[in-house]
Chain A
Amino acid sequence: MSAIAASFAVSSAHNTNTGVGALQRERELNRFLMDVEKRALRIAEISVRDRDDAMDIVQDAMIKLARKYSNRGASEWPPLFYRILQNGVRDWHRRRSVRNRVIAWIGGAAGDDEAPDPIAAAADPDGRTPEQQLQSREAMQSLERALRVLPLRQREAFMLRTFEGLDVAATALAMSCTEGSVKTHYSRAVHALRESLGDHWQ
Chain B
Amino acid sequence: MKEPDKTDDTSDDGRLAERARQLFDESVRELDAETLSRLNRSRHNALAELKSGSTDLRWLRWTPAAAVAAAAVAAVVVWRAPDLDQLPSDVASDFEMLLAEEELEMLEDLEFYRWLALDETAEETGADDHVG
**Do A and B bind?**
yes
CB-based contact A105/B88 at 8 Å: yes
> Which residues does chain A contribute within 8 Å of B38, judged by CB atoms?
55
Report the Cα distance A170→B94, complex, angstroms: 33
Q: Is A6 an interface residue, CB under 8 A from the partner?
A: no
Give A102 to B99 CA distance when docked, in angstroms: 12
- Residue in contact with A108 in the complex, picked from B32, B34, B112, CB distance below 8 Å: B112
Residues B116 and A42 in contact, CB atoms below 8 Å apart: no
By the criterion CB–CB under 8 Å, are B46 and A62 in contact? Answer: yes
28 contacts between A and B (CB under 8 A): A25-B50, A29-B47, A33-B43, A37-B42, A41-B31, A42-B28, A51-B35, A55-B38, A55-B42, A59-B42, A62-B43, A66-B49, A67-B54, A67-B56, A95-B97, A99-B106, A101-B88, A108-B112, A108-B113, A120-B32, A122-B32, A125-B29, A125-B30, A140-B26, A163-B21, A165-B21, A167-B7, A202-B19
Residue A9 interfacial (CB < 8 Å): no
Which of B15, B21, B28, B116 is most buried by chain A, counting CB atoms within 10 A of its CB?
B28
Taking Cβ atoms with an 8 Å cutoff, the residues of B that contact A are 1-5, 7-8, 12-13, 15-17, 19-21, 23-24, 26-32, 34-36, 38-39, 42-43, 45-47, 49-51, 54, 56, 76, 80, 87-88, 90-91, 94-95, 97-98, 103, 105-106, 109, 112-113, 116
**Known A120-B32, A122-B32, A125-B29; further 15 A-B contacts with Cβ < 8 A:** A25-B50, A33-B43, A34-B43, A38-B28, A38-B39, A66-B46, A70-B50, A98-B94, A107-B116, A139-B23, A164-B2, A165-B3, A167-B5, A187-B13, A190-B17
For A165, list chain B residues within 8 Å (CB): 1-5, 21
- Interface residues in chain A, defined as those with a beta carbon under 8 Å from any beta carbon in chain B: 22, 25-26, 29-30, 33-39, 41-42, 51, 55, 58-59, 62-63, 65-67, 70, 94-95, 98-99, 101-103, 105-108, 119-120, 122, 124-126, 136-137, 139-140, 143, 158, 161-168, 183, 186-187, 190-191, 193-194, 197, 201-202
> Whole-angstrom distance from the CB of B126 to the nearest CB of chain A?
18
Q: Which residues from B are CB-within-8-Å of A33?
A: 43, 46-47
Chain A residues with Cβ under 8 A from B30's Cβ?
119-120, 122, 124-125
From B24, B47, B50, B109, give the contact of A99 (CB < 8 A).
Answer: B109
- Establish whether residues A62 and B42, one from each chain, have CB atoms under 8 Å apart when the complex forms: yes
